[in-house]
Amino acid sequence: MLAREKTHMVHVGDVAIGGGAPVVVQSMTNTPTTDVEATLSQVARLRDAGCDVIRVAVPTRKAVAPFGVICAASPIPVIADVHFDHQIAIDAIRHGAAGVRINPGNIGSLERVDRVAEAAGEAGVPIRIGVNAGSLDPEVASRADLDLPERLAASAVGFVAHLEGQGFSDVVVSAKAHDVPTTIKAYELLSREIPQVPLHLGVTEAGTMLQGTVKSAVGLGTLLSEGIGDTLRVSLTADPEQEVRVGWEIISSLGLRRRGPELVSCPTCGRTQVGLIPIAEEVGRALEGIDAPITVAVMGCVVNGPGEASGADIGVACGKGEGVIFRKGKVERTVPEDQIASALLEEIRAGL
């Protein structure tokens, strides 16, 4: 477990963010909010995939009433995502939002922000101040003395200071850009300038599956490995369930949280004498249905195979046309190639 910076703890429904709580995985629905059934069905799928908190866009006043129905029926806390119209944010809070995200760049005057904070304070729900490089407050955006990460940070810090001056400190902050170095630097500035405020990490508009996964993993992984970040949302132009899967892979890779098994499998090379890729893929697919935090090694040759396989809970080290199955370092049995995947799965199930 990496040392993480200690912030205030904020509560979104029954989920704690910051103050030493585990990193919270978020996503956002992409169904029309007015379609309550489709949205709730997506929320249920996202919860099953490991989503802790869900954000739902409330783009119009007409969407507020269905949003309230979604909040009441959702199995996980729901945050309202509101742009332009502060009255929608206030109404969403009154309809049961567990939190509200507003963007200082487009919500209007500080007076309007204060009205939202009043409603949030009355309801006891936090506000996420979500700054975005694509929609910066024009006043900050024009400051030639600051580079983009500094503008992102300055915008967020200004709003936090304003709200704290009004007696409202139940806030989470984000400052997203689609450029990874900009995102990293903006969050590093935030963690120095407002160390008490929980940070919501994200690389925005990161792109389709492969590019978006890599940009998010590099950006969020770098920050988390520095101890920065209390909650995250991976942004992908893909099914939101993939955002949740990638989010979990990022925090699991750093040992910050663990969900289900880990598969240690070697890249193949000219030494491999079995069809390892399909075996690893079959085992990987089967592991998706298992919640236990076991480590499973699928290794193709004698170089690192026996060492890794015996260090795992269950493992196989493959030789020419066969595989040696290990359990906690002890050889269980040797099976021919076409039985490796099934034997490994049998051993995994037997050990649960």
Q: DSSP character for 271?
A: T
Least distance to a copy of itself, CB of residue 330, Å: 18
> Which of 285, 349, 298, 292 minimizes the C-alpha distance to 325?
298
Among 14, 267, 320, 330, binds a copy of itself (CB under 8 A): 267
Least distance to a copy of itself, CB of residue 70, Å: 10
- The interface with a copy of itself within residues 147-186 (CB under 8 A) comprises 178-181, 184
Residue 342 within binding range of a copy of itself, rule CB under 8 A: no
Among 29, 74, 174, 191, binds a copy of itself (CB under 8 A): 29
- The interface with a copy of itself within residues 6-25 (CB under 8 A) comprises none
Least distance to a copy of itself, CB of residue 215, Å: 5
Among 65, 292, 303, 350, binds a copy of itself (CB under 8 A): 303
User: Of 28-36, 119-127, 150-158, 330-338, which part binds a copy of itself (CB under 8 A)?
Assistant: 28-36
Q: DSSP character for 22?
A: P
- Closer residue to a copy of itself (CB): 16 or 203: 203
Alpha carbon distance 52, 92 (integer Å) = 20
- Closer residue to a copy of itself (CB): 166 or 304: 304
- The interface with a copy of itself within residues 48-67 (CB under 8 A) comprises 55-59, 63
What DSSP line would sit under 109-172, residue for residue?
Answer: -HHHHHHHHHHHHHHT--EEEEEEGGG--HHHHT-TTS-HHHHHHHHHHHHHHHHHHTT---EE
Least distance to a copy of itself, CB of residue 259, Å: 12
What DSSP line would sit under 291-337, residue for residue?
Answer: -S--EEEEE-STTTHHHHHHHSSEEEEEETTEEEEEETTEEEEEEEG
Least distance to a copy of itself, CB of residue 165, Å: 27
Query: What is the Cα Rg of the chain in Å?
Result: 23
Residue 41 within binding range of a copy of itself, rule CB under 8 A: no
- Closer residue to a copy of itself (CB): 33 or 174: 33
Among 114, 281, 322, 346, binds a copy of itself (CB under 8 A): 281
Q: Are 80 and 92 in contact (CB under 8 A)?
A: yes
- The interface with a copy of itself within residues 110-129 (CB under 8 A) comprises none
Residue 79 within binding range of a copy of itself, rule CB under 8 A: no
Q: Are 45 and 31 in contact (CB under 8 A)?
A: no
Q: What contacts 107, CB < 8 A, 6 or more positions away?
A: 82, 83, 84, 86, 89, 113, 116
Alpha carbon distance 235, 202 (integer Å) = 7
Q: What contacts 305, CB < 8 A, 6 or more positions away?
A: 266, 299, 317, 318
Alpha carbon distance 110, 71 (integer Å) = 27
Residue 270 within binding range of a copy of itself, rule CB under 8 A: yes
Among 36, 110, 218, 343, binds a copy of itself (CB under 8 A): 218
Least distance to a copy of itself, CB of residue 32, Å: 6
286 three-class SS: helix
- Closer residue to a copy of itself (CB): 170 or 226: 226
Residue 322 within binding range of a copy of itself, rule CB under 8 A: no
Q: What contacts 282, CB < 8 A, 6 or more positions away?
A: 341
Count residues binding a copy of itself (CB under 8 A): 85
Among 40, 123, 277, 286, binds a copy of itself (CB under 8 A): 277
Among 16, 153, 250, 316, binds a copy of itself (CB under 8 A): 250
Among 235, 244, 316, 341, binds a copy of itself (CB under 8 A): 235
- Closer residue to a copy of itself (CB): 168 or 187: 187
